[in-house]
Structure 1
Amino acid sequence: MKRLIIAIAAFAAAAAVAYAQDPIVGTWKTELGDSAAIDSCGSGYCITLKSGKHAGKQIGTFRGKDGSYEGKITDPDANKTYDGTVTVSGNALRLRGCVMKVLCESQTWPRL
């Protein structure tokens, strides 16, 4: 019985690690020096600021996998939301927000 419980616990831990290994999940340092957490929410991922004057505010929702994501990003100072993309390469996350896919701005955040 103990072996069965240990096996189930090991399987559950391995499944949790495999799911959490999507490259977007983690804590990132914004260009302003604040920290932002990206975690799964619904059928995608949410970006929530964890420090700074907008701590606790959700500023993005994205869908995708394997380092390439699309969705919405909000500028917390202007409170405006834009179409956006996120790409993850190693420990760097690149966000790009666009108005009508013409006027775009990008930021790169390192992983904490």
Structure 2
Amino acid sequence: MKMTIFAAIASLGFAGAAMAADPAVGVWQTQPDDGAYAHVKMVPCGSAVCGTIQRTFNASGEYKSENIGKQLVIDMKPDGSGKYAGKVWRPSNNKIYIGKMAVAGNSLKLSGCVAGGLLCSKQDWQRIK
């Protein structure tokens, strides 16, 4: 019995460490969209990665958008090779899209698509921390 409990605890620890090492976890700066950009904090959310808007900026500098605290990247599940699939929310039109993401070092490519992937919008994000 003790061995089973120890094995369960150990496997949870290893799973947590693996998720903490996820290359998408961190703070990323978006590209401007409709004149504004954001800092998005990506964190583990279950077996996926989710991103929440932390700060917003426009041509005048930092401002307090009503979107701060809202989830922009939704349930992006990793495939183990730095690519993810999930959903993306676009604040400028309040629509949720089929999302894909790829991380390579300090660069993140994000796309949101409609019509089964026929029409997509893409952004390149840069890691802040």
With the shorter chain as reference, the TM-score category is: 0.7 to 0.9
Instruction: Return the alpha-carbon distance in structure 2 between the equivalents of residues 21 and 44 of structure 1.
Output: 13
Matched, 1:59 2:72: yes
Partner SS state of residue 50, structure 1: strand
Q: Which runs of 5+ in 1 are unaligned?
A: 1-11
Distance 1:96 1:29 in 2: 15
Per the normalisation by structure 1, the TM-score is 0.80
Partner Cα separation in structure 1 for residue 110 and residue 44 of structure 2: 17
From the superposition, tell whether residues 66 and 21 of structure 1 become closer, same or farther in structure 2 (CA, over 3 Å).
Answer: farther
1:21 alignment partner in structure 2: 21
Which of 81, 88, 105 is the matching residue for 1:90? 105
- The separation in 1 between residues aligned to 2:122 and 2:96, in whole angstroms, is 14
Q: CA deviation at 1:76?
A: 1.1
For residue 110 of structure 1, what is the aligned residue in structure 2?
A: 126
Output the aligned Cα RMSD: 1.8
Q: Which runs of 5+ in 2 are unaligned?
A: 1-12, 57-64
Distance 1:15 1:99 in 2: 33
Match of 2:62 in 1: none
Shift of 1:67: 1.0
Name the structure 1 match of 2:41. 37
Report the number of matched residues: 100
Q: Percent identity?
A: 39
Q: Which residue of 2 aligns with 1:6?
A: none
Q: What's the TM-score, normalizing by structure 2?
A: 0.70
Aligned residue in 1 for 2:93: 78
Amino acid at match of 1:63: K
